[in-house]
Amino acid sequence: MKSTGKALVICSSRQEKIVSAVKNELEDFLPENIIYLGNDSSPFSSMKNITFLSWGKGSFTLKAAWKTLPRIKKLNPSTVLLPINNFKGEGYYLLRLFARKIAGEKVLEVFPDERVIELKDSFVVLALSGLEKWLHIFIQNVLELFSDYFRKKYGRNLPTGDYVPPQTPLHYKTVQESSSVLNPDVSIVIRSFNEEEFMKKNLEAIFSQKDVSFEVILIDSGSTDATVEIANEFPLRIYTIEKSSFSYPGVLNLGAELCKGKIMVNISAHAIPVNNEWLKNLIEPLKNPHVAGVHGAEMPMEGRCGLLERIRLEGSFRKNIIERKNDHTFSNANSAMPIALVKQFPFNEALNWAEDQYWTYQLQKAGYITIYTPHAKVYHSHNLDMEGDFIRCYKYFKVVAQYIYQEESNKLRKDWRQDLAFRSMEFRRFLTGGNHMSLIPALFYAPFCEFIFYLGCDTACREYFKGDATL
């Protein structure tokens, strides 16, 4: 049912981005109840069948705000849409204040990558946001003085030395061969280790999938709980390997050898498909022969997702399909790929982390594309603490610095450090806007978390460049 309220769209970005934002975020509003606000030269000013209000010539100024405010107040919009033209959202100070002043219920900021943030800060907090940036910078500069302490504190469980792949051969034992599908189109490969908490939910969700012929393969790495016993209750193929022989790329390559289908779907045992169309939607883009891999959306598990991880998930998994040609972002927690390509381009078993990112990097270099689809959702999160966030970031950047970014890694690290205040402000807004934390604690918690997470990247890059003084 369409909303009877009114929505105001501020024409503050490129035309195609505004049109896309309206389509995605204002679908519940009647077209005649959507009002566009821009300057005289806006392309929306000459469009038919829309209501357009002008603030005059040029950019949005205090004079334009004062002139426009009474007219907008009479319309009483319940929602304001503010498309933003740059990834940091800089230069929108006055428009944010104006949007907050006139909005009845909510203000939605839409960034160039389709990321949407609901602006819940009060008018007063927004007015002081310039000071907030300097507070974050000050806190992170102080934290910088104690970098060595934090490296020791949060990196105490980091592996020492270079990664050595498992020396134990990846032999497997067959526990059960009870797949009811003889010639499946898809083989779903699940990796598990002590997943009794999620195993039944995972398999129930998988076996509820419709419109696809599939088999299920479980590769367990020596679970000591009831994981395998629970899996035995379902019609799937179960194999076990020695824990000492486990590696992410090794198990994925083994899965490709065991698959009978033409498509391999990878899913973690603690990832739970959201609905019974997950599988169909995940493999749909593979009809295009130029697509090497597809990965779907990952959503926070309630009660099992830290705040920093939550904002990472919400920021990483957008509402729109993304086609990637030069972006190796990918996740094997929820992915699909042609088995023929996995055998032609096997996962690199010299890696202990980010094997999915490196595989995607290789395939894109070979001319293929990868797809992200928001229509294949799973619940998947790790409930990491600060040490876990630090270690995860460190492991990821240690691999991609060596195998993908190489000499560009230092620039990425420096750019990240330069953007820390912006990232902290975004996290703070997430914390307070989502009612996760009150304002004062969030002002200190956000810059601390973002600094420790960045420090994982910094530590990995320092190791890669072996103490280069330019770091």
CATH of the domain at 78: 3.40.50
Residue 191 and residue 103 in one domain: no
Residues 278 and 359 in one domain: yes
With respect to residue 470, please indicate whether it lies within any of the assigned structural domains.
Answer: yes
Element at 51 (helix H, strand E) = strand 51-54
Which of 191, 189, 358 is closest to 257 using CA atoms?
189
Do residues 142 and 104 both lie within one domain? Answer: no
Q: Are strands 186-192 and 172-177 parallel, antiparallel or unpaired?
A: unpaired
What are the tokens at 208?
């509820």
Provide the number of structural domains found in the chain.
3
Query: Where does a domain end: 332, 348, 383?
Result: 383
Measured CA to CA, the distance from residue 90 to residue 99 in angstroms comes to 15
Residues 114 and 238 in one domain: no
Determine the average pLDDT of the residues in 282-288.
97
Extract the runs of DSSP E, i.e. beta strands, from 362-447: 369-379
pLDDT at position 470 is 53
Is residue 370 one of the residues assigned to a domain?
Answer: yes
Burial of 406 (0-12, 13-18, 19+ CB in 10 A): exposed
Does some domain include residue 165? no
What's the CA gap between 169 and 161, in Å, rounded?
Answer: 22
Predicted confidence band of residue 471 (pLDDT cuts 50, 70, 90): low
Q: CB atoms < 10 A from the CB of 462, how many? A: 16
Q: Tell me, yes or no, whether 186 and 308 share the same domain.
A: yes
* φ, ψ at 432 (rounded to 5°): -80, -40
164 within domain boundaries: no
Q: Compute CA distances 358 → 19, 312, 345, 404, whole Å.
A: 35, 20, 11, 7
Decide if 63 is inside a domain.
yes
Range among 29-33, 163-167, 266-270, 429-433 rated most confident: 266-270
Residue 372 has pLDDT above 50, yes or no: yes
Q: Which residues contact 212 (CB under 8 A, 6 or more apart)?
A: 185, 186, 279, 280, 283
Same domain, 15 and 34: yes
The residue that leads in pLDDT, 112 or 161, is 112
Of 383, 398, 429, the last residue of a domain is: 383
Helix (H) or strand (E) run with residue 7 in it: strand 7-10
DSSP H or E run through 18:
helix 15-25
Per cent of the chain over pLDDT 70 is: 98
pLDDT over threshold 70, residue 136: yes
Q: What are the φ and ψ backbone dihedral angles of 71, each rounded to 5 degrees?
A: -65, -45
- Give a yes or no: residue 1 inside a domain: no
d(CA 312, CA 297): 12
pLDDT for 316 beyond 90: no
Residue 387: both structure tokens together: 């040490």
Asked whether residue 138 falls in the same domain as residue 221, the answer is no
Residue 426 has pLDDT above 70, yes or no: yes
The H or E element spanning position 298 is strand 291-299
* R_g of the chain, CA atoms, integer Å: 25
Question: Is 167 inside a domain boundary?
Answer: no
Question: Which one, of 251, 278, 283, lies nearest residue 264 by Cα?
Answer: 283
User: Across all residues in the chain, what is the average pLDDT?
Assistant: 91
Buried b (16+ CB within 10 A) or exposed e, 170-194: bebeeeeeebeeeebebbbbbbbbb
Check whether residue 15 and residue 85 sit in a common domain: yes
- 18 and 93 co-located in one domain: yes
For residue 105, the enclosing domain spans 7-127
Please tell me the total number of residues recorded for the chain in this structure.
471
Closest CA relative to residue 190, chosen from 249, 246, 271, 285: 271
Are 59 and 180 in the same domain? no
Distance CA 358, CA 470 (A): 27
Specify the 3-state DSSP secondary structure of 158: coil
Element (H, E) at 390: helix 386-400
For residue 223, the Cα-to-chain-centroid distance in whole angstroms is 29
Residues 318, 360 contacting (CB under 8 angstroms) = no
pTM given for the model:
0.86
Q: What is the mean pLDDT of residues 122-131?
A: 84
Are 12 and 139 found together in one domain? Answer: no
Task: Give the span between the Cα atoms of 223 and 194, in whole angstroms.
Answer: 5
Strands (E), 92-224: 106-110, 116-119, 172-177, 186-192, 214-220
Same domain membership, residue 245 and residue 377: yes
Question: Could you tell me the CATH number of the domain that includes residue 194?
Answer: 3.90.550.10
Angle at 59 between CA 54 and CA 64, to 5 degrees: 55
Domain C-terminal end among 383, 401, 435: 383
DSSP state of 292: E
Q: What's the pLDDT at 160?
A: 73
> Which pLDDT value is given to residue 459?
93
Is 90 exceeded by the pLDDT of residue 170? no
**Residue 319 predicted with pLDDT over 60:** yes
pLDDT score, position 469 = 43
